[in-house]
Amino acid sequence: MKKTWIGIVTAIFLMCGLAACSGKDSPGGTSAADAGTQAQTGGAGTQAETDAAVSGEKVKLRGVYLNGDEVQNDIMDNYIKKNLAEKFPNVEIEWEGTGDLTNLLKTYSATGDLPDVWYSDAASATAIINAGNQLNMADYITKDGFIDNYVNPDALYYSDGGIYAISSGIDAFYTPAVYYNKEIFKQYNLEVPQTYDELLEVCQTLIDNGVTPISITGTTGWSVRNFLFFTILMNEDPAAAQALLSNEIDFTDERVIGALKKIEDMLNMGCFPEGVANIDFSTHCALYTEGKTAMIATMSWSYGELEAAQDTGVFMWPSSNPEVKTGQAIQIWGSTLNGWAVNAKSEHLDLAVQIAEYCTKQEALRHAEKGSSLNFKTDNAAPITSELEKERMEMYSNAELYLKPLHLNAMDSAVMAEFSTYTNLLLAGDYTAQQFSEDFNPIWKANTWFQKQ
pLDDT in tens, the chain (453 residues): 434 444 444 444 333 333 333 333 333 333 222 323 333 333 334 555 555 555 568 999 999 999 877 888 999 999 999 999 999 999 999 999 998 888 899 999 999 999 999 999 888 898 899 899 999 999 999 999 999 999 888 889 987 889 999 999 888 889 999 999 999 999 999 999 999 999 999 999 999 999 999 999 999 999 999 999 999 999 999 999 999 999 999 999 999 999 999 999 999 999 999 999 999 999 999 999 999 999 999 999 999 999 999 999 999 999 999 999 999 999 999 899 999 999 999 999 999 999 999 999 999 999 999 888 888 999 887 888 899 999 999 999 999 999 999 999 999 889 999 999 999 999 999 999 999 999 999 999 999 888 754
pLDDT for 317 equals: 98
- What's the whole-model pTM score? 0.76
pLDDT for 171 equals: 87
Region at 270 (left for phi over 0; alpha for psi -120 to 50; beta for the rest): left
pLDDT for 69 equals: 75
pLDDT for 40 equals: 34
pLDDT for 138 equals: 97
pLDDT for 37 equals: 32
User: Over the Cα atoms of the chain, what is R_g?
Assistant: 22
Is 205 in contact with 188 (CB distance < 8 Å)? Answer: yes
Parallel, antiparallel or unpaired: strands 91-98 and 59-66: parallel
pLDDT for 41 equals: 31
